[in-house]
Amino acid sequence: MDVIFLSPGYPPEMSHYVRGLAEVGARVWGVGDSHPQALPDNARQALAGYLQVPRIMDEQDVLARVREWMKGRNIDRIEAQWEPLVLEAARLREAFGIPGMSYDTVLGFRDKQLMKERIKAAGLRVPHSARVRSPAEARAAAERFGYPLIVKPIAGAGSADTYRVDSDADLDRVMQLTRHVPEVSVEEFVEGEEFTYDTVCIDGRPVYENVAQYLPRPLDARTHEWISPIICTVRDLDQPKIRKGIELGHGVLKALNMGTGFTHMEWYLKANGEVVFGEIGCRPGGAHLVDQMNYTSDIDLFREWARAVCWKSFEADATRRYNTAIVFKRAIGEGRIRAIDGLGSFKDQYGRYLVWDNLLRPGNNRRNWKQTLVSDGFVIVRHPRWDDALTIARAAATDIRMYAS
């Protein structure tokens, strides 16, 4: 089994997928624009070969270089797990005649307006929305849908360049802020709790499922610096409200003709019990969500994803043992981290539930919290009971404080 993997070293977590592929018996050929020596050690050790290209997102150039590099070799799979490259991987698959999801199918997971149109056509509830390329089109959409609205990139990831809009003045301001985005989606703002639905699929059939809740919703977390965002996986997936979201997810996967691999979906639960689709990608969730899922069941989904891709098999015992919460921290002040208060006492009280302390230590520069959810680091905690897991996570959010100067 020979697998080409696009961008094996960036973002850093891509190296784990490369490692997983090698562990299930694949020969992995990496293609990226990083220098070979800049690759993480585990990626470099797992690769059978590496092709450095000038620009990983230059589709035609990458195709020509890979075609020359792979002469005389059979390619069985071409994979990408980073959102900006999933369409390029589909183009390469089609060019080489490799099995896997087509460009048109992957486009349904990448283009947010097309995505909602296909899902709505299947009879599922999606936010009212419009594709917008100008302020005039945005104002027309606002007149149709009313406020509040959400404005976000048609082909975005996470909550980047995503804004809530409550008035005409807000809309004018946001359209100025998103001038660099070629197309945006203007859509109905859905009031409610926000969850994920994550899967590993084999030929569209979920062989692993996960639900996690955002506390607070990502848009709120990206708006207020003082918030320590929490994402917590849900151990009990048989709750009626959670089952509604999972059933919605099943319909979405069918509507978009999902193939084999990871999916990451977001959905809303309204106060009246209605579930509403948000968006979905045919790739894993970021910000260490796969690590959270691993800690939820004590498994290795990097390896199991690779097994699914290569051999159409999933072997891990995915029994859900814990609710697992990640708490992202943002330092007070600017510059370098100078102190962390409350971490010692938190560990004294909750240390047996702490599985990963990834906080930046004093001397490190602060990260830009608007550009990365990981911010100035995180802790991951877990507990079999939901209420206890949230109590511990909220203690980390409020009692641990980081300072910079």
* CATH at residue 398: 3.30.470.20
Q: Which of 321, 192, 317 is nearest to 267 (CA)?
A: 192
pLDDT of residue 222: 86
Nearest of 378, 358, 405, 397 to residue 224 by alpha carbon: 397
Which of 82, 100, 118 represents a domain boundary (last residue)?
A: 100
The last residue of one of the domains, among 173, 188, 203, is: 188
Q: Which is nearest to 17 in space by CA: 4, 33, 1, 35?
A: 4
State whether 280 and 395 are in the same domain.
yes
59-62, long-range: CB within 8 Å, 24+ apart, which pairs?
Answer: 59/88, 59/91, 62/6, 62/31, 62/88, 62/92
Whether residues 212 and 181 share a domain: the answer is no
Strand extents, DSSP E, 108-192: 129-132, 149-153, 163-165, 184-188
C-beta of residue 375 within 8 angstroms of C-beta of residue 369: yes
Domains contained in the chain, number: 3
Residues 217 and 164 placed together within one structural domain of the fold: no
CA proximity to 229, closest of 217, 242, 246, 240 = 217
User: Does residue 123 lie in a domain region?
Assistant: no
Residue 159 has what pLDDT?
65
Asked if the structure places residue 334 within a domain, the reply is: yes
- Residue 112 within a domain: no
162 and 24 part of one domain: no
Structure tokens at 285: 């969730």
CA distance 380 to 44: 27
Report residue 314 as tokens.
Answer: 């999933």
What does the alpha-carbon distance between residue 398 and residue 226 come to, in Å, rounded to a whole number? 10
> 144 with 248, same domain?
no
Asked whether residue 115 is assigned to any structural domain, the reply reads no
Helix (H, G, I), strand (E, B) or coil at 175: helix
Return the sign of the alpha-carbon dihedral for residues 56, 303, 197, 105. positive
Contact 101, 94 (CB under 8 A): no
The range of the structural domain enclosing residue 74 comes to 2-100
Identify the pLDDT of residue 158.
Answer: 59
d(CA 250, CA 236): 18
- Give the mean pLDDT per block of 10 residues along the chain (405 residues): 97 97 98 96 96 98 97 95 98 97 98 95 94 89 90 75 88 89 89 97 98 94 93 97 98 98 98 96 97 98 98 98 98 97 98 98 95 95 98 98 97
The CATH number of the domain holding residue 10 is 3.40.50.20
One domain, residues 244 and 320: yes
Give burial (CB, 10 Å; 0-12/13-18/19+) of 123.
Answer: exposed
Torsion of CA 268, 269, 272, 276, to 10 degrees: 40
Give per-residue pLDDT as tens, 157-183. Answer: 656 788 889 898 889 899 988 888 888
Quote the strand ranges of 53-188, DSSP E: 77-79, 129-132, 149-153, 163-165, 184-188
Query: Are 154 and 206 in a shared domain?
Result: no
CA distance 183 to 141: 14
What are the structure tokens assigned to 181, written together?
């985005």
Q: Residue 395: inside a domain, yes or no?
A: yes
| 239 and 330 part of one domain | yes
- For residue 119, being part of any structural domain is answered with no
pTM recorded for the entire structure = 0.93
Amino acid at 90: A
Q: Are residues 164 and 213 in the same domain?
A: no
Helix (H, G, I), strand (E, B) or coil at 105: helix
Is residue 292 domain-shared with residue 377, that is, in the same domain?
yes
Dihedral sign computed on CA atoms, order 25, 26, 32, 35: positive
> Is 281 contained in some domain?
yes
Give the 3-state secondary structure of 222-266.
CCCCCCCCEEEECCCCCCHHHHHHHHHHHHHHHHCCCCCEEEEEE
Q: At which residue do the structure tokens 């969500």 appear?
A: 289
Q: How many helices (H) and strands (E) does the chain have?
A: 14, 18
CATH number at residue 184: 3.30.1490.20
**How far, rounded to the nearest angstrom, does the alpha carbon of residue 103 sit from its chain's CA centroid?**
20
Same domain, 36 and 71: yes
| pLDDT (0 to 100) of residue 217 | 92
CB 168 within 8 A of CB 146: no
